[in-house]
Structure 1
Amino acid sequence: MTAPIIQIRDVSKSYDLSDAAPPALADFSLEVEAGESLAVLGRSGSGKSTLLNLIAGLDRPSRGTVVVGGVAVHELSEAGLAGFRRERIGMVFQFFNLLDDLSVEDNVLLPAQLAGMHRDEARKRATELLARLGVARHARTFPGLLSGGERQRVAVARALMNRPPLLLADEPTGALDSASAADVRELLTSLNAEGQTIVLVTHDTALAESCATRTIELLDGRLHRDVRNAPVAVAR
């Protein structure tokens, strides 16, 4: 039996070492299977972003273990964490985090360059991704000239560049208008239908309902609800 792609065991995370404030996560455990699309809901301060940062190795637990794809993330050095993120994690952010002085294509190529992918292979991969995500015509355009929905599609292409087993999305529709948000929801649904494992943090219940196969809700740093969703229909 294949091990879950994410295994979090008895994790607590405190930012206030004096214990004057409650922990961001408290005695938290979670398993996510490969191929799942997991939506993480909760109010501001519930621990959603902390959970995502722990999975990505951007933060370390105060206590407990975080294993992603068989890698004990909590034990890695800073150099090890950088390599782990390059090879195994794709990240999509609310405000895109694209470099405005680089073209769309060059933004998408960045992860491949950092990973040492051969230039010809990287350009072929970038061209395929931009075409697949419907933004190939903008390859030479600078991100500031694109709509929010187009920029998020570019950000997803960049996140997928190195074929990561796990895609993390932090409020991917939070900065978008309703039409662009619907576009991104359809995109994430399609990616998951093709087998991409996704963990997304969101306040957007429509996003969770439309593209997540499972939804958890955090409350004060603890798991409050964990439900399996009905199968998602993919638009054709």
Structure 2
Amino acid sequence: MTSSREIAPGLVIQGFTPPLNLKDFKLIAFDMDSTLINIECVDEIADAAGRKAEVAAITEAAMRGEITDYKESLRQRVALLKGVTVAHMQQVYEQRLQLNPGAAELVAACQRAGLKVLLVSGGFTFFTDRIRDRLGIDYTRSNVLEVQDGALTGQMVDQPWGDICDGAEKRRMLLETCTRLGIAPKQAIAMGDGANDLPMMGEAGLSVAYHAKPRVREQAMVAINSGGLDRLLEIVR
């Protein structure tokens, strides 16, 4: 890939010349944790179990790409959540989770331009469903935490499409959504921050790293290193 260049403070591009036209794209796909929202939900749920440091260390290694088996890393983290109540998860949503700066503005701009919006997450439906409803997102894919008697069991529930939404599943969901819409993957934008976002970012016509891990910044066509998600609109108008 061609060398990168900073076109504005904290905004780096490589491989193309801006501006691009937003209406040339038909789909935008977002990662959730630390991309569309400000937290890693699994880490904040773990805080209720007194295990945040332990879980967060695994999350950080997984996002940096230092753990090759993402599914196993997620199973390990979810096992440590056993006993956390649904009420605690609701507190995380209400008290800790915020949309990242520019998230609502970027989603609204894409919707006005006619793009469909996809949210694909290695996180959990408890949160993706709420963000979907809040922003009017069209499609989601994420993991289901098993609940019994109002508390987490430490396991996840298999879904019709598979067991865990990892990098390969994010890629598959992006391609499946493109097929559903009758568009080419090159008509999609994909935004993420961690190593498990790279498979879907590699298929999209425009890949965007948001305050991302070094490996992701290096491979993305756009890296937003400061400011909000809506800085993409400085490049795609």
TM-score by length of 2: 0.28
Q: Decide which structure has greater helix share.
A: 2
TM-score in terms of structure 1 length: 0.28
